[in-house]
Structure 1
Amino acid sequence: MPTQTVLYIIIAGIVALVLALFQYKYKVKSMSKLYMLFAFLRFFTIFSVLLLVINPKFEQLQLTLEKPKLLVAVDNSNSVAQLGQHKNAEQTVEAIRSHAALNDKFNIEYYSFGKTLNASDSLTFSEKQTDISSALEALQDIYKDDVAPTILITDGNQTFGNDYEYSTYNQPVYPIILGDTTTYLDLSIRQLNVNKYAYLKNKFPVETIVVFNGKETVTSTFTVTSKNQTVYSKNITFTANHTSEVLQFTLPANQVGLSAYKAQIQPLDSEKNKVNNAKNFAVEVIDEKMNIAIVSSFFHPDLGTLKKSIESNEQRAVTILKPNEIQSKLNDFNLVILYQPDNQFKFIFDDIKAENKNTFIISGTQTDWFFLNDQSDIYEHDITSQTEMYQGVFNTNYSTFIVDDLDFESFPPLQSAFGELTFFSAYETLLYKKYGNITTNQPLLATFETKGRREAILLGENIWQWRAQSFLNTKSFNTFDNFIGKLVQYLSTTKRKTRLVVDFESFYEGVNNVIIKAQFFNKNYEFDNRETLQIALKNKESGDVFNLPFVIKSNNYQVDLSHLSAGEYEFTVSAASEQISSSGSFTILEYNVEQQFLNADVSKLNQLASKTAGTSYFIANYDNMFNDLIANKKYVTIQKSTKTTQGLIDWKYVLGIIVFCLSLEWFLRKYNGLT
């Protein structure tokens, strides 16, 4: 406590004593015991009040012992069970839990992982994907400021995400390897490449990589069947020096609709894992292709980005043209994308109006708004010579078609002409403009319909940066390509809007989430989130029937059907309050990537341990790891001191003492007949 505060307390004591004696000693001839008690109570009251005014600070030092953390991350994927290591994993976790010395030295925290990390040691070994890299990244985010060596109980087989061998994890990793290095004789289909779509009466290409693991000479037969009929067959011979074969062939597309196939390499009698000898795939045969034109008077990276995104769906073909190249070809296209139009586009706009073609206009720094305002009677943009950068903010109430938020606010801003866009008829904003930290009600991307023609306008260039940022966010171009695909799909059709719209894929791979989305509109074609939607499903093979409700998520209804087994399903989505329904069918392909492994990936786990200054152990000798961790002097209990400062004014019982002294003094004075 500072000397100055001590001096104030001494002065407060003297002042309190003087005041108390002045009241009960002054003009009193002799001090009785009662008056001495009164003086003491008054002294204590005044002294306590003065102490609260001075408010001295008291420091308290608290010492705590903090043990280092030990993280236990267990692979909960199906490959562990496939290798017959699930019981070993459970026994190892139990051994860690019951090891007294280990628990005495460390605070042990348990996690399981498959595609994502879960704060639990509940193990089912049913996860359909393994992402070790993502699990390590999540642990690093949680324990970035702690000493937390990590026990990784896994077979090392990863099916999803970045390669964990090159992880930047900053904690020592001690892998316990589930499996062994024994080499088994095995034939497998390593990879099968095929387009999702084909065109009627054409042939579609298929590429298959068949791999042999062994040192003998073996011969097997590769076949592709559809509805129990063999559509392709080839004999293959493998040797110790010829361990893989790339097969490239074509299959006919003779019937519109979904066609399912099964590719199989005949297993050897001595094979341990026969699951990886077959792969199912499906192709949707369509009888038309959507043609889209992108018209621009100059080159820009956005043009290539649009072409790649749109053509990621094989049903669509994109042609990039200059304004003078499209005049005689307009009727060949379902949709025309006009990139930063100027007066060179004059005759194109005339033809579009004459043919009532759907359009998608993208403006930017080189757009001639004098010309564009003159061409449109739907909207008008302010004319300025300035440009500005705008970010996009997703409109969760957008209801024209089902679309997801791609975290647009994390995307780089687009460059556009400064000013406001004014509409003279009904439109719907998909993305709002955001300027700095201010979100405006001005559209960045809007859609509208007029005279039976659908149009969209995007006020900004450099969307190639959006596609790149989307890849950084999700490690895939698919989310951005799907967004552009849905916008193009809406603009390419002239079908009248229905009140119940269902969004689904024709087929799903067994490892992916099976999500069906829907939108319900009221009679004014406004999105209605008060309706109750149900889906009735029927497995065409078994006849099993399922009835499930949709749930509201953002601007659409969703139902998760990932629990369904592989097979063909037909469904009907219906609204509870009205006689409106929509039907369709889809196929879930039978494929489990976790069942494709024969061995633990020992080399990658050893590399991970070496890179992070840890050590790897096989499951048979994990006891050695316990002893090494206990003996490791890097992991010690740390003594931490916590210093807290508290003022006297925070002590509530001081106020209680003041009230008590005043009350007792008042009572005794009244009791003894004093005023």
Structure 2
Amino acid sequence: MPTETLIYIILSGILALFIALFQYRYKSKIKSSKLNWLFTFLRFITVFAFLLLIVNPKFEQIKIVSEKPNLVIAVDNSSSINYLNRAEDANTMFNSLKNNKELNTKFNVTTYLFGNTLKTSDSLTFNESETNINNAFGQLAQIYKTTVSPTVLISDGNQTFGNDYQFAYTTYKQPVYPIILGDTITYTDLKIQQLNVNKYAYLKNRFPIEAILVYNGSQNVNTKLEVVKGNTTVYSQPISFTKTNNSKIINLTLPANSIGINSYKLNLIPLENEKNKVNNSKNFAVEVIDQKTKIAIVADIIHPDIGAFKKSIESNEQRSVSVLKPNEILSQLNDFQLIIVYQPNNRFKKLFDELNKLNKNRFVVIGTKTDLSFINSISTNYSHEIVLQTEEYQANFNSNFSPFQVDDINFESFPPLNALYGSIKFNVPFQTILNKRIGNVSIQQPLLAAVEVNKQREVVLLGENIWKWRAQSYLNSKSFNEFDNFIGKLIQYLASNKQRNRLNVDYESFYIGNSNVVINAQFFDKNYVFDDRETLSILVEDKLSESKFEFPFVLKNNNYQVDLSNLKPSEYNFTVRAKNENISKSGSFTILEYNVEQQFLNANVTKLQQLATNSSGKSYFIDKTNDLIKDLMSDNRYVSVQKSNKNIIPLIDWKFLLAIIALSLSAEWFLRKYNGLI
């Protein structure tokens, strides 16, 4: 207590005594000497207590607390413990440590269970489908950041999810004592470690397969690798392993002979004494595509535009162009995916009749040598004003064109095209790609337009000498690529003899039970360029229970994605729908009852021992429980720590002082009343 406060207390006592004596000894009319001294004492107590409240001295209170170290017991609650027949041992060990009197005397014992996440519980079930030991250490690091907390880890050390726990000691600064649930017995095992296959292949080509095979054993073994399609073995190769040569990378190719999705199964024939045969096979599928597009340019005249079109289109190796007369194309019309009609006249009538009958797409070029009367008579989509005069038009790019994505390749710098004067009138909805321009004046008339009616597509170019555009594009960029890509997008929009899928869904025919069930989808515009403006959802129906669930897709990079990992094992039908357009796609998949925890044959002893060494702990097998307890009890790092807590308590917080004041005043009043002094 400060000296100044002590002086104030002494002065308060003197002042209180002076006031009491002055009132009851100096001017008192009470005849009884005993009463005078009693009243003097009571008044002194009252005044002195009031003065102490004003001075309000502070007192220090020191408490000594003994703090025990923590003992964290974390138990692997995954199903792999059951599979290794160690559930009973783990339960016994857990209860033995938790209830040990010596440990509870020295430590604050806290128990946790973990699978994919850490939980505070003492009820072991061993039914978790995933093991994430590193995540458990990460959460414990937040809880026991500033305390001494040796940790007993009861686990088989087999992690199926998350980062490698072997290096958890870098963030979890506590000694770890793994209790290994398992043995060091090594079982003979063959497995397909990894399988790499492209999802797509072109017709009549061969697609590559890469398989990484691993052998675990000490004997020389011979087996066979097979690729099966349905009930047919399409590839077979003998494989040999030894104790030292225990892994192989196998590269092979298979022919892509049939269009569509082709399903295969890769089998590594199991050994007779092999315990785990689930990892000896993997299913995969390849979609075979026939992307070779045949295009016909039909012309009745010779013009450099024809050569420019042919060069641009064939810059893509998957496209070929044939130049034919109107009478030559009729017998082979079905051989081509797109017809380019260059400046048609009356000789093209049969061709247009066949195109309309087959509902084929077409690219029509109208120039100075085009018969407009014929065009107006044959086309129901548009009609052109007939004026016997020509004009030169330059191009203005329409940035609002939406059916597919087109880049402005500096069209304004291109030389003008020769065209017939007059306007074109469309009788159906159309989209303008390029508008006409004369000099610096933009004319709201299409120079290049796209029409789509009843699933038939048509592009109309109202000018000739487009070969000059290709030449100018080369002068601008020192390459034909920009112009050829522009023409390629027009061809891609048109070149199809059937309706192509704008909504593609990427999914597996089956999923392993506790793996991520993720379905990806891509939505394309009318030119099959990815469109991120759409909203997709998936309706999933369980075939067995007939339950239905709907989930939204999430846009992730250039992909739509939905996670269905919460669905239980069963067979499902699904339908993916686009909200803004009437497009959907259906399919089915199966979630198999498969647990990755059952793929382990023994405990990961090496990694658990390394974790113990790195964290300054020690590892034990299940039958060494007593050694663990002895080591924990004798380790000088884990001792109780005495901590002193000093509290400053002001006198005004002492409620008993108020009670003394009230009691002394009450007693004084009562005695004065009783003796008739009031």
Cα distance in 2 for residues equivalent to 1:550 and 1:669 = 87
- Indicate conservation of the 8 Å contact 2:189/2:274, yes or no: yes
- SS of the residue corresponding to residue 569 of structure 1 reads strand
- Alignment of 1:278 with 2:281, yes or no, is yes
Amino acid at match of 2:608: L
* Corresponding position of 1:246: 249
Q: Please, which of 622, 625, 633 is the counterpart of residue 625 of structure 2?
A: 622
Cα distance in 2 for residues equivalent to 1:243 and 1:517 = 36
* Corresponding position of 2:141: 140
1:260-659 pair list within 5 angstroms = 262-281=265-284, 351=397, 353=399, 355-356=401-402, 506-507=507-508, 510-514=513-517, 537-540=540-543, 543-546=544-547, 562-571=565-574, 587=589, 590=592, 592-659=595-662
- Indicate conservation of the 8 Å contact 2:541/2:548, yes or no: no
Cα distance in 1 for residues equivalent to 2:200 and 2:124 = 42
Cα distance in 1 for residues equivalent to 2:252 and 2:61 = 80
Shift of 1:615: 1.5
- Indicate conservation of the 8 Å contact 1:105/1:636, yes or no: yes
Change (3 A) 1:214 1:7: same
Cα distance in 1 for residues equivalent to 2:515 and 2:666 = 75
* Corresponding position of 2:192: 189
* Corresponding position of 1:4: 4
- Indicate conservation of the 8 Å contact 1:208/1:246, yes or no: yes
- SS of the residue corresponding to residue 242 of structure 1 reads coil
Q: Deviations over 1:67-102 (max 9, x none)?
A: 211111222233333322222222211221232222
* Corresponding position of 2:58: 57
Shift of 1:128: 3.3
- Indicate conservation of the 8 Å contact 1:536/1:545, yes or no: no
Cα distance in 1 for residues equivalent to 2:50 and 2:639 = 49
Cα distance in 2 for residues equivalent to 1:65 and 1:661 = 42
Report how many residues are paired.
462
Change (3 A) 1:28 1:175: same
- Indicate conservation of the 8 Å contact 1:537/1:545, yes or no: no
Q: Please, which of 191, 216, 221 is the counterpart of residue 218 of structure 1?
A: 221
Shift of 1:107: 1.5
- SS of the residue corresponding to residue 597 of structure 2 reads helix
Shift of 1:257: 8.5
Shift of 1:250: 4.8
- Indicate conservation of the 8 Å contact 1:536/1:546, yes or no: no
- Indicate conservation of the 8 Å contact 2:505/2:585, yes or no: no
- SS of the residue corresponding to residue 545 of structure 1 reads coil
TM value normalised by structure 1: 0.58
- Indicate conservation of the 8 Å contact 2:201/2:289, yes or no: yes
- SS of the residue corresponding to residue 111 of structure 2 reads strand
Change (3 A) 1:282 1:56: farther
Change (3 A) 1:229 1:657: farther
Q: Deviations over 1:427-450 (max 9, x none)?
A: xxxxxxxxxxxxxxxxxxxxxxxx
Cα distance in 1 for residues equivalent to 2:121 and 2:179 = 18
Greater Cα offset, 133-142 or 602-611: 133-142
Cα distance in 2 for residues equivalent to 1:598 and 1:190 = 15
Change (3 A) 1:177 1:633: same
Amino acid at match of 1:587: F
- Indicate conservation of the 8 Å contact 1:535/1:547, yes or no: no
Cα distance in 2 for residues equivalent to 1:644 and 1:107 = 26
Give structure 2 stretches of 5+ with no counterpart.
292-311, 317-394, 408-492, 494-502, 522-536, 555-560
Cα distance in 2 for residues equivalent to 1:153 and 1:221 = 39
- SS of the residue corresponding to residue 220 of structure 1 reads strand
- Indicate conservation of the 8 Å contact 2:59/2:650, yes or no: yes
- SS of the residue corresponding to residue 134 of structure 1 reads helix
Cα distance in 1 for residues equivalent to 2:649 and 2:549 = 58
- Indicate conservation of the 8 Å contact 1:223/1:230, yes or no: yes
Cα distance in 2 for residues equivalent to 1:31 and 1:227 = 126
* Corresponding position of 1:306: none
Shift of 1:640: 1.9
- SS of the residue corresponding to residue 648 of structure 2 reads strand
* Corresponding position of 1:422: none
- Alignment of 1:127 with 2:121, yes or no, is no
- Alignment of 1:23 with 2:44, yes or no, is no
* Corresponding position of 1:441: none
Amino acid at match of 1:189: I
Q: Deviations over 1:6-41 (max 9, x none)?
A: 222121122122223333334224454555444433
- SS of the residue corresponding to residue 145 of structure 1 reads coil
Change (3 A) 1:559 1:635: same
* Corresponding position of 2:112: 111
1:195-234 pair list within 5 angstroms = 197-198=199-200, 201=203, 205-225=208-228, 232-234=235-237
Shift of 1:226: 5.9
1:137-176 pair list within 5 angstroms = 137-167=138-168, 168=170, 169-176=172-179
- Indicate conservation of the 8 Å contact 2:507/2:518, yes or no: no
* Corresponding position of 2:103: 102
TM value normalised by structure 2: 0.57
Cα distance in 2 for residues equivalent to 1:516 and 1:241 = 40
- SS of the residue corresponding to residue 639 of structure 1 reads strand
Cα distance in 2 for residues equivalent to 1:55 and 1:559 = 69
Q: Deviations over 1:366-408 (max 9, x none)?
A: xxxxxxxxxxxxxxxxxxxxxxxxxxxxxxxxxxxxxxxxxxx
Higher Rg of the two aligned structures: 2
Shift of 1:597: 2.2
* Corresponding position of 1:426: none
Change (3 A) 1:657 1:642: same
Cα distance in 1 for residues equivalent to 2:290 and 2:10 = 100
Change (3 A) 1:588 1:34: farther
- Indicate conservation of the 8 Å contact 1:510/1:588, yes or no: no
- Alignment of 1:179 with 2:190, yes or no, is no
Identity score, percent: 51
Amino acid at match of 1:598: L
Q: Deviations over 1:598-621 (max 9, x none)?
A: 222222222222222221111222
Cα distance in 1 for residues equivalent to 2:218 and 2:185 = 13
Shift of 1:653: 3.5
Change (3 A) 1:503 1:353: closer
* Corresponding position of 2:387: none
- Indicate conservation of the 8 Å contact 2:98/2:111, yes or no: no
Cα distance in 2 for residues equivalent to 1:549 and 1:41 = 84
* Corresponding position of 1:392: none
Amino acid at match of 1:208: A
Shift of 1:273: 2.1
Cα distance in 2 for residues equivalent to 1:30 and 1:88 = 89
- Alignment of 1:237 with 2:240, yes or no, is yes
